Chains A and B, each alone.
Chain A
Amino acid sequence: MASMSSKRLQKELTKIQGTLPPGITLVSAPDLREWVMDISIIDNPIYPPNETYRMRFSFSPSYPIEAPEVVFVVLAAPERKIPIHPHIYSNGIICLDLLDSQGWSPVHNVESVCISIQSMLAGNTKAERPPGDAEFVRSNRQRPRDINFLYHDPKV
Chain B
Amino acid sequence: MSRSHFSRSPRGNQDPTFTRTHSHSHSSSNPINTLGLPSPPPNGRRSSMGVEVRGMRRLEQRRNMEESHYLACNARAQNYNPPVDLRLLDYVSSYDNNLMCAICRCPFVDPVILNECDHCFCRACIRQCWNTNTTYTPLGPRGDCPTCRTPAKLGPRSATSKILVNLVDELIVQCPRKDDGCKAEVRRCEVQDHVNIYCGYTLIECTGKDCTDPVRRKDAAQSCLHYGASCLLCHKELQQWKLEAHWRSECPDRRVHCEMCKSPVFHRELEMHNKETCPAISTPCPGCSSRNKRGHAEAHAKSCTFAKLAPVLLRQQERLDEQEAAQKEMSRKLEVLEGGFTNMQGILFPSQEVENADRRSGDSNHIPYLRRSLVSPENADADAPTNDFAGFDWNFSAADVRHDGASSAETFQNGMASPPTRAAPAVPGPRPDDLPEPFSSDFDLASPPTFPPSGPYASPLHHLLSMHESLRDEMTRITSALSELDGRHSMQILNENLRTREEISYLAAQTAGLQRQMHWFTSAQLQRQQGRSPTPGASGSALGGAMMDAGAGAGVEAAVGAVSTAATALRGAARMVNVGGSASGVGMRRGTSEEGRTKL
Q: B128 — which chain A residues lie within 8 A by C-beta?
A: 65
Which residues on A sit within 8 Å (CB–CB) of B131? 65
Contact call B87/A4, Cβ cutoff below 8 A: yes
CA distance in complex: A4, B85 (Å): 9
Which of the residues A7, A65, A106, A109 comes within 8 Å of B87, measured between beta carbons?
A7
1/0 per residue B114-152: CB within 8 Å of A?
000000000001001101000000000000101101000
B88 at interface, CB cutoff 8 A: yes
Give the distance to chain B from A139, nearest Cβ to Cβ, in Å.
Answer: 32
Given A105-B146, A105-B149, A4 contacting B88 (CB threshold 8 A): yes
A68 at the interface (CB under 8 A from B): no
Taking a contact as CB atoms under 8 Å apart, the answer to whether B88 and A106 are in contact is no
Residues from chain B with a CB closer than 8 A to the CB of A7 are: 87-88, 104, 106
User: Are B147 and A8 in contact (CB-based, < 8 A)?
Assistant: no
Q: Which residues of B contact A11 (CB under 8 A)?
A: 105
* Complexed CA–CA distance, A11 and B144 (Å): 25
| B-side contacts of A8, CB under 8 Å | 104-105
Contacts of A12 in B (CB 8 A): 105
B103 at the interface (CB under 8 A from A): yes
Shortest CB distance B53–A (Å): 54
Which residue of A is nearest B126, CB measured? A106
CB neighbours (8 Å) of A106 from chain B are: 102-103, 125, 129, 146
Contact with A along B174-192 (1 / 0, CB 8 A): 0000000000000000000
Q: Does A3 contact B (CB under 8 A)?
A: yes
Q: How far is the CB of A1 from chain B (nearest CB, A)?
A: 8
Question: In the complex, which residues of chain B have a beta carbon less than 8 angstroms from the beta carbon of A105?
Answer: 129, 144, 146-147, 149
Asked if A107 and B88 make an inter-chain contact with CB atoms under 8 angstroms apart, the answer reads no
Residues of B within 8 Å of A64, CB to CB, are 103-104
Is the pair B146, A107 in contact by a Cβ cutoff of 8 Å? yes
* Inter-chain contacts of A65 with B (CB < 8 A): 103, 128-129, 131
Residue of B at shortest CB range from A3?
B88
Using Cβ atoms and an 8 Å threshold, which residues of chain B touch A109? 105
**How far is it, in angstroms, between the C-alpha of A16 and the C-alpha of B128 when the chains are bound?**
25
Bound complex: CA of A105 vs CA of B125, how far in Å? 12
Complex CA gap A4/B88 in Å reads: 6
Interface residue count for A (Cβ, 8 Å)?
A: 12
CB contacts under 8 Å to A, within B417-455, are none
CB distance from B84 to the nearest CB of A (A): 12
Docked complex: A104-133 residues within 8 A CB-CB of B? 105-107, 109
Q: Which of B103, B105, B131 has the most CB of A within 10 A?
A: B105
**Which of A11, A106, A109 has most chain B Cβ within 10 Å?**
A106
Q: Tell me the smallest distance from the CB of B562 to a CB of chain A, in Å.
A: 103
Interface positions, chain A 1-25, Cβ under 8 Å from B, are 3-4, 7-8, 11-12
Chain B nearest Cβ from A28, distance in angstroms = 19
CA–CA, A105 to B121, complex, Å? 13
A105 nearest CB neighbor, chain B only: B146
User: In the complex, are the beta carbons of B102 and A107 less than 8 A apart?
Assistant: yes
* A residues 80-121 in Cβ contact with B at 8 Å: 105-107, 109
A-contacting residues, B357-395, CB 8 Å? none
Nearest-CB distance from A18 to chain B (Å)?
13
Closest A residue by C-beta to B119: A107
Contact mask for chain B residues 26-68; partner A; CB cutoff 8 A; 1 contact, 0 none: 0000000000000000000000000000000000000000000
Alpha-carbon distance between A12 and B103 when the two chains are bound, in angstroms: 12
Closest to B90 in A: A7
The CA of A109 and the CA of B102, in the complex, are separated in Å by 9
B312 CB to closest chain A CB (Å) equals: 29
Chain A positions within 8 Å of B146 at CB level: 105-107
Chain A residues with CB under 8 A of B102: 106-107
Chain A: minimal CB distance from B542 (Å): 130
Cβ-closest chain A residue relative to B130: A65
CA of A84 to CA of B102 in the docked complex: distance in angstroms? Answer: 33
| Binary interface encoding of chain B residues 469-495 relative to chain A, with 1 for a CB under 8 A from any of its CBs, else 0 | 000000000000000000000000000
- In the assembled complex, 29 residue pairs joining A and B whose CB atoms fall closer than 8 Å, in A order, are A3-B85, A3-B88, A4-B85, A4-B87, A4-B88, A7-B104, A7-B106, A8-B104, A8-B105, A11-B105, A12-B105, A64-B103, A64-B104, A65-B103, A65-B128, A65-B129, A65-B131, A105-B129, A105-B144, A105-B146, A105-B147, A105-B149, A106-B102, A106-B103, A106-B129, A107-B102, A107-B103, A107-B146, A107-B147
On A, residues with C-beta under 8 Å from B are 3-4, 7-8, 11-12, 64-65, 105-107, 109
Q: A64-B104, A106-B125 are in contact. List 15 more A-B contacts (CB 8 A).
A: A3-B88, A4-B87, A4-B88, A7-B87, A7-B88, A7-B106, A8-B104, A11-B105, A65-B103, A105-B149, A106-B102, A106-B103, A107-B102, A107-B103, A107-B147
8 closest A-B pairs by CB: A105-B146, A107-B102, A106-B103, A107-B146, A11-B105, A107-B147, A106-B129, A8-B105
